[in-house]
Amino acid sequence: MANEKKEKKIELEWHSIIRDLKRNVPYIIMSMLIGLMGVYIAQKSVYSPEYTSKATLVVSAKISTANPYANLSVSSEMAKVYAKVFEQPSIKERASWTLGQSWLGRLNATEITGTNLFYVSVTTDDPELSYRELNAVLQSYTQISDFVFENAVIDVISMPSMAHGPSNPMPSSNAAAIVALSLIISIGGFAAISILRDTVKTENAFTQKIDSKLFAVIPHEKKEQTFVSRLRGAKQGLLIDENAPVSLKFSESFHQIASRFEYMRNTTGAKVFSVLSVAENEGKSTVAANIALSLTFKGYRVLLLDLDQKKPALYKLFGFRYEKESELGELFAGAFPAKDFRFRQYKKSTLYFALNTKSHKGSQQWIENGVVAHLTEALRRRFDFIIVDTAPITVDAGVTQIMQIADQNLLVVRTDTVPATVINDAVITAKNLGTEFAGCILNDVYPEFSLMGQLGFSESGYSYGRGYGRYGKYGKYGKYGKYGKGGKYGRYSRYSKYSNYGKYSNYGKYSNYGKYGNYGKYGKYGRYYSLTEEDTGSSDSEGGGSANS
């Protein structure tokens, strides 16, 4: 019961809401335009414009007294009476007779309080008709008004004019209110959809919704792209290379994963790790590449094996192009002998690649006939780690067979991408196969949304600037800190240019692992290290090239 309550708990993740609102900006604008068009349609279908012509009349007594206030009082009372008279049906009948047609307008007369003035107006749906009917009233009213007060005189002081616009315009505030209401409704709707979407948005949500061990968490890292690359639509991979503009927190998350891989290798002998995902665009290839790089930095010989035969992506991350006799799919298809296959190498390091730069149709057959398993088993003896990048589980059915080949399997889960139920189904499938399932890597986790966090302040109250904070001049990662110039990993330290792992040291350019060393570009295990027919299972006899472990 407690678990059920946790699953029903709604958690606000503001980064997710803001991202959804940004993605749906065109739809929000469309909803505002729809509201505006609704106002326009209402004006055309429901709203009927009216036009009013108006005249001002004055009432005065024929016989005036010496007291002007008394004259004004009498005239004011007469104005009230005449205002009532002008609204009588008899006035309209006389005006209709004068026009020679039936009366169509609305006649109104209103006195001006405290004066002897009153207005007379005629309202119709045609400005010209309003003007004509009001003139007819002014021409015929004397035939009736003379019988009301014999001692009163009515004069027109403001002649009627034709209306230039409707007297009942649709208020502009209505349109603004409709647009504002449409904006509020659309934003609220998309925010509600974002909140109620059953995906994993945070680390806490993972523990509530996913029935699996959380192996590691990778924080969100913003891709720094130039203006030109944005215009070209070029995608920049997030690699923890020494020259890559990535944060320390992002790099450290992969170093932690690599350390756990080391532990599993030392305790269980696991060497082959498959990196899986449920759907596309979850960062699976980037995660696999960075784990391999981190293991390489530790001095291990690592192979990145690209078994995503449908839509490979590793070659894009590292900027590789098609090379003859370096395409893994062509090797499986028998396009050239196994002894001619050339592993690619990353920057004279101990990281090697067996990958594809294009899709290959026969991938399922190669998995089923055991070629992939045979090659993996042969390579296991020659590399410290083999990181396998696979196709998404929902795209390629052969992934389940690759999982059985690997020693350990990990599922990459990108935040707010795949429904939690689908992730749980994938976890159950992995466990039911009887394979070793290490857990899930939660990828692209945004930091907790807070005002201080957005301004760049840590919980300690110090900013991430130049001062004495965590990343400051004298902080943990500062000039003299652990990773500083003179620190443990600094210029003159153990891992510097002249130290154990430096340019001329044990792992340097000309050393055992250097460019020309045993593991170098042209060395025993270098780029041109070749396979044998036995390695691929295509022959019982060995082919040419070195096959030593």
Sequence-ordered strand ranges (E) for 422-541: 437-445
Instruction: Tell me: do 16 and 124 sit in the same domain.
Output: no
Instruction: Tell me: do 111 and 241 sit in the same domain.
Output: no
Instruction: Tell me: do 227 and 347 sit in the same domain.
Output: yes
Instruction: Tell me: do 263 and 149 sit in the same domain.
Output: no
Instruction: Tell me: do 127 and 85 sit in the same domain.
Output: yes
Residue 15 in any domain: the answer is: yes
Q: Are strands 214-219 and 437-445 parallel, antiparallel or unpaired?
A: parallel
Assign 383 to helix, strand or coil: coil
Residue 490 in any domain: the answer is: no
Residue 457: the pLDDT is 39
* Residue 250, amino acid: F
Instruction: Tell me: do 35 and 99 sit in the same domain.
Output: no
Residue 467 in any domain: the answer is: no
391 CB-contact burial (10 Å; exposed 0-12 / middle 13-18 / buried 19+) = buried
Those residues whose C-beta lies under 8 Å from the C-beta of residue 453, and which sit 6 or more positions away, are: 447
Provide the number of structural domains found in the chain. 3
| Separation of alpha carbons 454 and 110, rounded Å | 63
Residue from 288, 318, 311, 303 nearest 389 by CA: 288
Rg over CA atoms, the chain: 42
Instruction: Tell me: do 308 and 410 sit in the same domain.
Output: yes
Instruction: Tell me: do 408 and 298 sit in the same domain.
Output: yes
Those residues whose C-beta lies under 8 Å from the C-beta of residue 4, and which sit 6 or more positions away, are: none
Instruction: Tell me: do 210 and 344 sit in the same domain.
Output: yes
* Biggest CA-to-CA distance, the chain: 139
Residue from 164, 320, 163 nearest 239 by CA: 320
Assign 87 to helix, strand or coil: coil
Residue 23 in any domain: the answer is: yes
How far the first Cα of the chain sits from its last, in Å, is 55
Those residues whose C-beta lies under 8 Å from the C-beta of residue 16, and which sit 6 or more positions away, are: 194, 201, 415, 416, 446
For position 122, which CATH number holds? 3.30.70.1130
Tell me how long the chain is: 549
| Separation of alpha carbons 379 and 102, rounded Å | 103
For position 306, which CATH number holds? 3.40.50.300
* Residue 408, amino acid: Q
Supply the range of the domain harboring residue 32.
2-47+170-196
Residue 63: the pLDDT is 60
Per-residue pLDDT of the chain (549 residues; tens, 9 = 90+): 344 444 456 667 888 888 889 989 999 999 999 888 888 887 777 778 899 999 998 888 766 555 555 566 777 888 888 888 888 888 888 889 988 889 999 999 988 888 888 899 999 999 999 999 999 998 888 777 666 666 778 888 888 888 888 888 876 667 788 888 889 999 999 999 888 888 999 999 999 999 999 999 999 988 765 555 555 555 567 888 766 678 889 999 999 999 999 999 999 999 999 999 999 999 999 999 999 999 999 999 999 999 988 889 899 988 889 888 888 888 888 888 888 889 999 988 999 999 999 888 877 888 888 888 888 888 988 899 999 999 999 888 889 899 999 999 999 999 999 999 999 999 999 888 888 999 999 999 998 765 444 444 333 333 333 333 444 444 444 444 444 444 444 444 444 444 444 444 444 444 444 444 444 444 444 443 456 666 666 543 333 222 233
Residue 150 in any domain: the answer is: yes
Instruction: Tell me: do 219 and 266 sit in the same domain.
Output: yes
| Separation of alpha carbons 338 and 335, rounded Å | 9
Residue 177 in any domain: the answer is: yes
Residue 298: the pLDDT is 92
Q: Spell out a b/e string for 344-382, using b for 16 or more CB atoms within 10 Å of the CB, else e.
A: bbbebbbbbbbbbbeebeebeebbeeebbbbbbebbbeb
Residue with tokens 């004006």: 43
Instruction: Tell me: do 391 and 284 sit in the same domain.
Output: yes
Residue 264: the pLDDT is 95
Residue that is last in its domain, among 196, 211, 244? 196
Assign 155 to helix, strand or coil: strand
Residue 60 in any domain: the answer is: yes
Residue 481 in any domain: the answer is: no
Instruction: Tell me: do 111 and 149 sit in the same domain.
Output: yes
| Separation of alpha carbons 514 and 510, rounded Å | 5
